[in-house]
Structure 1
Amino acid sequence: MHNNIELYIQALNSANCGIIITDNLQPDNPIVYCNKAFENISGYSYDEIIGHNCRFLQSQDRSQPERQYIKEAISEGKDCRVEIRNYKKNGDLFWNELFISPVKNDDGIITHFIGVQNDITDRKRAEHELREEKSSVERKIQERTKELIESESFLSSIIQTVRESLLVLDANYKVLSVNNHFLSSFKVTKEDTVGKNLFELGNHQWDIDTLRELLMKILPTNNPVIDYEVEHNFPYIGKKVMLVNAYRIEFEGQYKDRILIAIEDITEKKEIDRRKDDFLSIASHELKTPLTTIKGLVQLLQRMKPDGASEKYNETLDKVSVYVDRLNILISDLLDTSKIQSGNIELHLEPFDIDKTIRDTVDNLSVSAPSHTIELSGTTNATILGDELQISQVINNLISNAIKYSPDSNKVDVYINRVGNFVKVSVTDYGMGISSQDKAKIFERFYRAKHIQKKFPGLGIGLYISHEIIANHKGTLWVESEVGEGSTFSFTLPIMKNQ
């Protein structure tokens, strides 16, 4: 039987169409399986897909009527076929022909849905072009010719004035053209550059195995090179850190298949970031020592209260202790941020019971936040290989945020379950929600949404730390939210093998 399952999985992974399976018995129908073709179509890896609802592929394009058709079909347990706009991980639009079928058990209960997906972008494009050509072939040719002439002149002006170094390569990585910013930035001439192979420029500063491999994949796969850092001692300009982005560009006729490379000098930015990180690290360490002393003195005062001390005296001392604890947590977060940035954060990997860790964290928070009901549901019976203290810190951060940013609600839901080979943990609040613009940056260091900066104190590092901790544990952390309708933060963690 085991061999049969492996055979079926191998067959599914050999299919050209994307195949996913969702668990209808779990809230929000999470994806519990996907084949290789689905990873290729969407651009996401298996680990990034598991646990999500299929709608994440529509990104912010949520007004499509097809979404309602899918929702109704799932609600009614019917087959469904739609053609819907989806978006790859890199943001590229693709048209998806989606077939959905329910799977029932012996009792007639729908336990899963199977989705079969085909990328029909080329077909859609061909249909659109055919409609255009049928309308007026002659007019299209004339307009296109005029557009190309104007575009060439317009783009040439932009390329020469843009404040970023740009190169255009042919399929053999020979430099066809460069803009003035490249020439001035690297203090070279066109004769030094145009007509030469990219990997032979200067003192072979671009001849890096990993960069060469990425560039060689651009034309056959259309996968861009995104934010690749090159630190090198360049001829004429010295040691610099350059950020490289490269894309495939297609022109008609003789200019087909070109590579556009954009190079940005981030040396100064990296140095500023380093200084800022050094300051954070030094300041946090320097503050930690006197704060620990103050904490000890406050505890000593609490134990040595004078006989007949007034109630105001006791309350004041207790408030001092509370605020010292808050300051201690803030400094600890700053130290964590500094460690993450410098790559010095340590992972103490030990097997632990994730269900117990979450229960203990929820129990502790329930005591410290009696104004909110934290409802825990679900179970995994799973063991995680990781740093239990750090995972507890993530859960603490997410639930604390849920309480903090839902002042008009008194309930937080925590749900845990298995999805494939992962544990999924979701924290749902019923507060103010998050806008799409803020969702894109919410896990960045020190980022805080504008509308909450004045209302709620904080530095915007809790979610950044949580995101990095989960990433270091080979999991993913994401948020689903609508303004005014609350938020759900979810993360996955791989389950230890042999379970």
Structure 2
Amino acid sequence: MEERTVPTPELLSAYETVPGMYLVLSDELIILTASDAYLKARGVNRDDIRGQFLFDVFPPDPSIPYALGFAGALQEVLSTGKAHQMPLLRQELPDPGNKTHIRPRYWDISHTPFLDEEGEVQYIVQHSFDVTDLVQAKKGVELREKELWASEKHLGFLLNAMPQQVWTATAEGVINYVNQICCFDFGKNPEELKALGWESFVHPEDLPGCLKAWKTALEAQMEYMVEFRLLMWDGQYRWFLGKAIPIMENGKLRLWMGTNTNIDLQKTNEQKKDEFLSIASHELKTPLTTMKAFNQLMKRTTDPDKLQGFIEKSAINISRLEKLINDLLDVTRINAGKMSYTMKEFDFGQMLQESVESVQYISPNHKLILNEKEKVLYIGDRFRIEQVLNNFLTNAVKYSPGGGKVLIKSEVKLNNIIVSVQDFGIGIASNDLQRLFERYYRVDNSALRFEGLGLGLFISSEILKGHQGSFWLESKPGEGSTFYFRLPLSASSTINPIAEKHLFYKDDSITISYNEEHHRLDVDWTGFQSFDSVQRGGMLLLKMLKENQCNKILNDNRNVLGTWSEASEWAGEVWFPMIEKAGLKYFAWIYSPSVFSQLSAKKSVDIAIGNVVTQFFTDISIAEDWLNNK
């Protein structure tokens, strides 16, 4: 048998004392020796392992695939005669400081064969390098990077959840982040916004001041704050309060964190308040000045007839002043939620007759004609209802300065008292109709043509709401206006629906039927609508849409009377998202003849949240064709 070459005793002794972890194996994988460092790391003695088969002393880890473990590595070395580098290896080894504890160690292991003259492997030297500290350091870096990424992701989530525009900029002032609110408000994606720059969205009149304030903040590294108008996605400028603070790190400016808060409503209210105060001072001053003049005349005259006339005219101005003050007090009560009502039964027709006669007495240039007077007993606050009626009548007189007639009509319709007041005066433009009942607003208010604070209609609307009533009007510029108000004769009515499972439903305010041929819901709203009736009908639609699994609705409002403006926000912000989630995609809306009802419909769609495709129509056949083609 051919004699094998093995390392000399001197060489083996050198391996035992050399720094580093070495294990010397024969070509049959018998342990010849090991370095002191190897024995210490493994927690074994040299005499216990010398002469033993490697895998009897250190059995292979079954969790490590053969090709990646010691057996596979040594098999490759023996078959190829070439050195082999193992993948990074993790082993559980005794802690040198406490052998009862096991701790993970990471090794970079190589096997180097030593060959004879014929190229046969004679012995193998395994070198293990402990890289535990390096691996743990790398893992620490990766963990910190992961935590940083998670932190940045969490921060991004928080910034996107904020209801304000949020942005960051570099130390030099270049925008490098915008949240989703910015993208929504401006109608651009983040890259487009950063490329365009914030300056392109600022109103030209506000830009110089903004640039100056931003430059000062950058140079001084101090807080930036400015009010400016920004161009929104819809082409409208809105007021914002911009603020940014410098973020310092180790005394060095790292970045700027900024927010833009929408203050357009506050600005608008400030303008309305200033305008209102201007009008109020003018209106309050007029009767006071007149009273002062008459008082001076009364001091100078001794004529009893003239004196009586001056007293009467002073009394008229005192009444005017009293009404202005009462209006202000009513608005204060409404804002504080302290408007109270004394509900008693009274003769509505008698109250109507007396109100018309009272206004006729002080309006000699107009002829107030009470065409119809419904005889009905009504339970409500007579004083407040009379206040509403007087406001409607005096408005009709006020806005027809050329004189003429005013027509008043009262009727009971669908268990509601309906009162209409028609004048033939200046009329109201369509864009003023929706704003007419807003606080501090009045038609042609810039010219101060007519007396009064413009609070009467706002107060009237709140009184009617307190009686579960509503108001609306029809008007054409130059032809006049007809003001309506509605008062229900009973606070609630019994609903007696006709229903056929999920295919058909009908009550006094709505009819819903499933159109099997076109796989849609056909809806017919009828009569006067309130918040409750709109909400009830909307939820019925939601239920039947789900049950029939359709995605189209034909919404017919041609039989709607009056207005349902108090429910328009609910329809847009609550109902549309719910019914879209239920499957609605296409909504054909056929207008009511009532302008106020049309305005309510437009408002609902304008503020609607979601992606339902809504189209308005005046002709039902055109609406059906549109839906059928979807």
Could you say which TM-score interval applies, normalised by the shorter chain?
0.3 to 0.5
When the two structures are superposed, what TM-score results if normalisation uses the length of structure 1? 0.41
When the two structures are superposed, what TM-score results if normalisation uses the length of structure 2? 0.33
Q: Which has the higher contact order (CA 8 A, sep 6+)?
A: 1
